[in-house]
Amino acid sequence: MKDESQVKITLPDGSERFYPKGVTALEIALSISEGLARNVIAAKVNNEVWDPTRQITEDSLVKLLTWNDEDGKATFWHSSAHLLAEALEALYPGIKFGTGPSIEKGFYYDVDLGGQSISQEDFPKIEAKMLELARQKNEYIRKPISKAEAIDYFTKKGDEYKLELIDGLEDGSITLYEQGGFTDLCRGPHIPNTGFIKAAKLTNIAGAYWRNKQENKMLTRIYGITFPKAKELEEYVTLMEEAKKRDHRRLGKELELFAFSEKVGQGLPLWLPKGAMLRERLQAFLSKAQSRAGYTPVITPHIGSKDLYVTSGHWDKYGKDSFQPIKTPNLGEEYLLKPMNCPHHCEIYKTSPRSYKDLPLRFSEFGTVYRYEQSGELHGLTRVRGFTQDDAHIFCRPDQVKEEFIRVIDLVLYVFKSLGFDDYSAQISLRDPNNKEKYIGKDEDWEKAESAIIEAAAERGLSTVTELGEAAFYGPKLDFMVRDALGRKWQLGTIQVDYQLPQRFQLEYTGSDNQKHRPVMIHRAPFGSMERFTAILIENTAGQFPLWLSPDQIAILPISEKFADYAEDVFFQLQDHDIRGFVDHRDEKIGRKIRDAEVTKVPFMLIVGEKEAAEGKLSVRRKGEGDLGIMTIEEFTAFFKKEAAIA
């Protein structure tokens, strides 16, 4: 029985314990085991991540976090950003600080060097200073402070960036964190002390506009990563070396798949012939699967009237940060580069009266959209300003939502299986219940949509995590997170339930009761975007695509020009069987031709010389396997088709 001096702590397994008021997560861990206490670096208290040394004064649900938890890593890396800042302040007096968050792998800090300079050659001395400070085991101390005191502190320090941040904070919600000789404006949380940080590596340096606004000053962004064990840093460095070999930007250039041009514009990829072939095959693969699943293709323009996106709500949510309106000769007439396909599909729905018997309607489009990403955020094909979504919108009755959602899950899983993405999880992204003004629509519609997603995911036996606050502004969603060959996690497919756009566009259907009803809209994109999916596919396969997808599936290699005609005849015969590739007519030795085909990752090399031409056969080699022997054209065709079958 709890008395007034105690708090009830509920652990994730449902067990309950009673502790004195003011107990900390570290003390709770110690009461369970000393080993656990040594590894706790943060805690989740009522779903909010806290310092493990922060006092708990009311009944709470508590989860103890270690390095093995994502929130634990995020806390570790945010604390490491503070350690980096302390090292920089010691080495570069007068430096000023912007923000220093954790990111998916590590952290960064944006700094104003005040005329000083830092390059990658300076990284070793900064890393050494970080580890020197880490060994001092200085505690991260949380200090609530009034707004006036915070302004006074950073005014005296002369850090205008912190003063600008303080200006947007409410009095009573401001905290400082101090470790060793460094104090920072920060909400936290942080690890107990710097001694947990045993290995540090700075990874990159770049420019970044203060608060991501181009009208602001360009700061220096320093990226880094830390670990609780030196061995883990060694493993990370090895992994990064492998990642460099698989980098889709490097392979995209080597394999002649895509390019970028400053004259065309940042973040606007140019698909080269081989890349276009790869992309077309991906599109044909999904189009066939969608056709079997009852989707009807549609095509919409690359621009739309600004009023279209005002109606949908996209202008209010994203307009200021997107490409600005295109003005026409007619006064007051404005268009936008299309940021989304869904408003266009709503207008297609409205072109005809709809009955309950017509639903579900499934409109699909490989639609190119445009969003103004900040230049510092652009990265190869994974973050671009113009990209093509494998988009579709399903308009259905409320009683059809769960069944349609399950059908989409099945389609996403078919895509993943066919392309070798076997390691994935699903994230159920829900509304933040404490910040509902970020979203549009009625509570009851949100509750129905969220229930449909949760039930559909459970029925398909998906491994899921639930994240509050990650929903789209118009509805909850199911995001598929894929781990690639290097263990990195990417968000690919997404499915979203939307009660709001049908309301905004006044969509209707006539029900069996002869009354007008609103359909529900499901947004889905199994690839996510053609650009990002292709980038991840390149890196996951290291450019060695499944045979059915390879831009060049064969290279026909005549030993000399005497056999050029026979090589061309073979090529045309194989083309008739939809086997794609080229004839290497260069005046090079056969060994060089084979090596070049291997380097460009052509799956099959077909060597033709005097014997092959006389007998109407081929000498077949496979990349990575070597000589497969002599085959007739018919034998190779049958063998190839079996090997190229989609899983």
Q: Residues within the annotated binding site for Zn(2+)?
A: 342, 393, 523
Active site residue 513: no
CA distance 78 to 65: 14
Point out which residues pair with 336 in neighbouring strands.
304
Closest CA to 539 of 257, 281, 273: 257
- Is the preceding omega at residue 269 within 30 degrees of 0, hence cis? no
Active site residue 580: no
The 3-state secondary structure of 531-589 reads HHHHHHHHHHHCCCCCCCCCCCCEEEEECCHHHHHHHHHHHHHHHCCCCCEEECCCCCC
Marked catalytic residue, from 186, 342, 346, 396: 342
For residue 227, what is the enclosing H or E element? strand 218-227
DSSP 439: S
Give how far the C-alpha of residue 508 lies from the chain's centroid of Cα atoms, to the nearest Å.
Answer: 35
Question: Which phi and psi angles does 629 have, rounded to 5°?
Answer: 100, -175
| Strand locations in 328-436 (E) | 334-337, 361-370, 386-396, 424-430
The SS3 assignment for 42 reads strand
Marked catalytic residue, from 44, 314, 402, 523: 523
Closest CA to 297 of 279, 284, 310: 284
Cβ neighbors of 114 (< 8 A, separation 6 or more) are 94, 95, 96
Marked catalytic residue, from 477, 517, 532, 601: 477
CA distance 450 to 435: 16
DSSP 475: B
Query: How many degrees, rounded to 5, is the angle at CA 125 between CA 119 and CA 131?
Result: 130
Active site residue 159: no
CA distance 153 to 148: 9
Marked catalytic residue, from 393, 402, 601, 623: 393
Cβ neighbors of 517 (< 8 A, separation 6 or more) are 356, 397, 508, 509, 510, 511
Query: How many degrees, rounded to 5, is the angle at CA 641 between CA 640 and CA 643?
Result: 65
Active site residue 167: no
Active site residue 391: yes
Residue listed under structure tokens 């109407």: 616
CA distance 368 to 529: 9
Residues in the annotated binding site: 342, 393, 523
Marked catalytic residue, from 51, 110, 184, 391: 391
Marked catalytic residue, from 179, 290, 389, 500: 389
DSSP 340: -
Handedness of CA 561, 565, 571, 574 (dihedral sign): negative
Active site residue 517: no
Active site residue 393: yes
Tell me the catalytic residues.
342, 371, 389, 391, 393, 477, 523
